[in-house]
Amino acid sequence: MGQGMLLLCLAFGMVALTGGFDRWLEGQANPNRNLQGIFSPDGAREVVLERNRQGHYVASGQVNGISVTFLLDTGATDVAIPAHIADAAGLERGYPGRASTANGTVIVYATRIDQLVLGNIVLHDLSASITPSMGGDTILLGMSALQRIEFSQRDGRLTLRQNAPAPR
Protein backbone atom coordinates (compact mmCIF):
# COMPACT_ATOMS: atom_id res chain seq x y z
CA MET A 1 0.00 0.00 0.00
CA GLY A 2 2.81 2.39 0.93
CA GLN A 3 4.71 1.72 -2.29
CA GLY A 4 1.53 2.19 -4.31
CA MET A 5 0.89 5.58 -2.69
CA LEU A 6 4.52 6.59 -3.30
CA LEU A 7 4.24 5.65 -6.99
CA LEU A 8 0.93 7.48 -7.28
CA CYS A 9 2.46 10.62 -5.71
CA LEU A 10 5.47 10.42 -8.03
CA ALA A 11 3.22 10.02 -11.08
CA PHE A 12 1.03 12.95 -9.98
CA GLY A 13 4.14 15.07 -9.37
CA MET A 14 5.52 14.30 -12.83
CA VAL A 15 2.21 15.21 -14.48
CA ALA A 16 2.04 18.48 -12.53
CA LEU A 17 5.65 19.37 -13.37
CA THR A 18 5.15 18.55 -17.04
CA GLY A 19 1.99 20.67 -17.24
CA GLY A 20 3.67 23.56 -15.45
CA PHE A 21 6.71 23.37 -17.71
CA ASP A 22 4.50 23.30 -20.84
CA ARG A 23 2.66 26.43 -19.66
CA TRP A 24 5.98 28.13 -18.93
CA LEU A 25 7.30 27.30 -22.41
CA GLU A 26 4.09 28.54 -24.03
CA GLY A 27 4.40 31.78 -22.07
CA GLN A 28 7.93 32.21 -23.41
CA ALA A 29 6.73 31.75 -27.01
CA ASN A 30 3.59 33.90 -26.59
CA PRO A 31 3.76 36.29 -23.63
CA ASN A 32 0.57 37.97 -24.91
CA ARG A 33 -1.91 35.12 -24.45
CA ASN A 34 -4.32 37.07 -22.25
CA LEU A 35 -4.41 40.54 -23.75
CA GLN A 36 -6.00 43.30 -21.76
CA GLY A 37 -6.87 46.27 -23.90
CA ILE A 38 -7.35 49.75 -22.51
CA PHE A 39 -9.33 52.76 -23.61
CA SER A 40 -7.36 55.99 -23.71
CA PRO A 41 -8.99 59.26 -22.57
CA ASP A 42 -9.75 60.20 -26.19
CA GLY A 43 -11.67 56.93 -26.73
CA ALA A 44 -8.94 55.10 -28.68
CA ARG A 45 -8.43 51.39 -28.05
CA GLU A 46 -4.90 50.33 -27.11
CA VAL A 47 -3.14 47.01 -26.67
CA VAL A 48 0.43 46.67 -25.39
CA LEU A 49 2.41 43.64 -26.52
CA GLU A 50 5.62 42.24 -25.06
CA ARG A 51 8.30 40.62 -27.22
CA ASN A 52 8.84 36.91 -26.88
CA ARG A 53 12.25 35.32 -26.24
CA GLN A 54 13.06 35.38 -29.96
CA GLY A 55 12.30 39.12 -30.17
CA HIS A 56 9.00 38.72 -32.03
CA TYR A 57 5.59 40.09 -31.16
CA VAL A 58 3.22 37.15 -30.86
CA ALA A 59 -0.30 37.53 -29.51
CA SER A 60 -3.54 35.61 -29.12
CA GLY A 61 -6.64 36.86 -30.88
CA GLN A 62 -9.55 35.80 -33.05
CA VAL A 63 -10.45 35.54 -36.72
CA ASN A 64 -14.19 35.26 -37.36
CA GLY A 65 -14.68 34.05 -33.78
CA ILE A 66 -11.97 31.36 -33.95
CA SER A 67 -9.13 31.65 -31.40
CA VAL A 68 -5.77 32.05 -33.15
CA THR A 69 -2.19 33.12 -32.57
CA PHE A 70 -0.80 36.09 -34.52
CA LEU A 71 2.80 36.91 -35.37
CA LEU A 72 3.07 40.59 -36.27
CA ASP A 73 4.88 40.90 -39.60
CA THR A 74 5.32 44.35 -41.15
CA GLY A 75 7.02 42.66 -44.12
CA ALA A 76 3.85 40.78 -45.07
CA THR A 77 1.48 42.58 -47.43
CA ASP A 78 -1.63 40.72 -46.27
CA VAL A 79 -2.75 38.78 -43.27
CA ALA A 80 -1.44 35.29 -44.20
CA ILE A 81 -3.46 32.36 -42.92
CA PRO A 82 -2.64 28.63 -43.02
CA ALA A 83 -5.31 26.68 -44.93
CA HIS A 84 -6.53 24.63 -41.94
CA ILE A 85 -7.17 27.79 -39.89
CA ALA A 86 -8.90 29.44 -42.86
CA ASP A 87 -11.19 26.41 -43.16
CA ALA A 88 -12.02 26.52 -39.42
CA ALA A 89 -12.79 30.26 -39.68
CA GLY A 90 -15.08 29.74 -42.67
CA LEU A 91 -12.93 31.74 -45.09
CA GLU A 92 -13.61 31.21 -48.78
CA ARG A 93 -10.80 30.75 -51.25
CA GLY A 94 -10.93 33.41 -53.92
CA TYR A 95 -8.74 33.82 -56.97
CA PRO A 96 -5.31 32.16 -56.84
CA GLY A 97 -2.13 34.16 -57.01
CA ARG A 98 1.56 33.98 -56.23
CA ALA A 99 3.34 35.53 -53.27
CA SER A 100 7.05 35.95 -52.63
CA THR A 101 8.00 34.73 -49.18
CA ALA A 102 11.21 34.05 -47.31
CA ASN A 103 10.82 30.44 -48.51
CA GLY A 104 10.34 31.37 -52.17
CA THR A 105 7.27 31.87 -54.33
CA VAL A 106 4.07 30.17 -53.14
CA ILE A 107 0.48 29.87 -54.32
CA VAL A 108 -2.03 31.84 -52.22
CA TYR A 109 -5.77 32.44 -52.45
CA ALA A 110 -7.36 35.82 -51.87
CA THR A 111 -9.97 36.02 -49.13
CA ARG A 112 -11.69 38.51 -46.81
CA ILE A 113 -11.83 38.35 -43.03
CA ASP A 114 -15.14 39.57 -41.60
CA GLN A 115 -13.74 40.27 -38.14
CA LEU A 116 -10.26 40.20 -36.60
CA VAL A 117 -9.88 40.78 -32.85
CA LEU A 118 -6.65 41.55 -30.98
CA GLY A 119 -7.34 42.49 -27.37
CA ASN A 120 -9.95 45.23 -27.57
CA ILE A 121 -8.98 46.20 -31.12
CA VAL A 122 -11.55 45.01 -33.66
CA LEU A 123 -11.01 45.22 -37.43
CA HIS A 124 -13.63 44.40 -40.07
CA ASP A 125 -13.51 43.42 -43.75
CA LEU A 126 -9.78 42.76 -44.12
CA SER A 127 -7.92 41.56 -47.17
CA ALA A 128 -6.07 38.32 -46.45
CA SER A 129 -4.36 35.41 -48.15
CA ILE A 130 -4.95 31.72 -47.55
CA THR A 131 -1.55 30.06 -47.79
CA PRO A 132 -1.85 26.26 -48.16
CA SER A 133 1.94 25.74 -47.97
CA MET A 134 2.10 27.54 -44.61
CA GLY A 135 2.45 25.07 -41.78
CA GLY A 136 1.81 25.57 -38.11
CA ASP A 137 -0.91 27.35 -36.19
CA THR A 138 0.29 30.94 -36.46
CA ILE A 139 -1.22 33.66 -38.64
CA LEU A 140 1.05 36.39 -40.00
CA LEU A 141 -0.57 39.71 -39.12
CA GLY A 142 0.52 41.71 -42.15
CA MET A 143 0.04 45.24 -43.34
CA SER A 144 -3.54 44.81 -44.61
CA ALA A 145 -4.44 44.84 -40.88
CA LEU A 146 -1.57 46.87 -39.41
CA GLN A 147 -2.17 49.82 -41.76
CA ARG A 148 -5.50 50.37 -39.99
CA ILE A 149 -3.89 50.92 -36.60
CA GLU A 150 -1.06 53.00 -35.23
CA PHE A 151 1.85 51.26 -33.59
CA SER A 152 4.94 52.34 -31.72
CA GLN A 153 7.73 50.38 -30.09
CA ARG A 154 9.60 51.27 -26.93
CA ASP A 155 11.61 49.23 -24.41
CA GLY A 156 10.62 45.83 -25.80
CA ARG A 157 6.93 46.68 -25.91
CA LEU A 158 4.75 47.42 -28.91
CA THR A 159 1.69 49.61 -28.42
CA LEU A 160 -1.11 49.13 -30.94
CA ARG A 161 -3.70 51.91 -31.12
CA GLN A 162 -7.03 52.00 -32.92
CA ASN A 163 -8.36 55.54 -32.97
CA ALA A 164 -11.91 56.16 -31.85
CA PRO A 165 -14.40 56.47 -34.71
CA ALA A 166 -15.20 60.02 -35.72
CA PRO A 167 -18.48 61.32 -34.25
CA ARG A 168 -21.40 61.37 -36.67
pLDDT tens for each residue of 46-77: 999 999 999 999 999 999 999 999 999 998 99
| Largest pairwise CA distance in the chain | 75
**Burial class of residue 131 in the structure, from the number of CB atoms within 10 Å of its CB (0-12 exposed, 13-18 middle, 19+ buried):** buried
Q: Give the Å distances, CA to CA, from 73 to 57, 70, 77, 82, 141.
A: 9, 9, 9, 15, 6
Alpha carbon distance 118, 2 (integer Å)? 51
Whether 163 has a pLDDT exceeding 80, the answer reads yes
- Mean of pLDDT over the chain: 86
- Tell me what pLDDT residue 28 has: 44
> Is this model's pTM higher than 0.85 or not?
no
Closest CA to 131 of 105, 106, 102: 106
Alpha carbon distance 154, 31 (integer Å)? 16
Cβ neighbors of 37 (< 8 A, separation 6 or more) are 45, 46, 47, 119, 120, 121
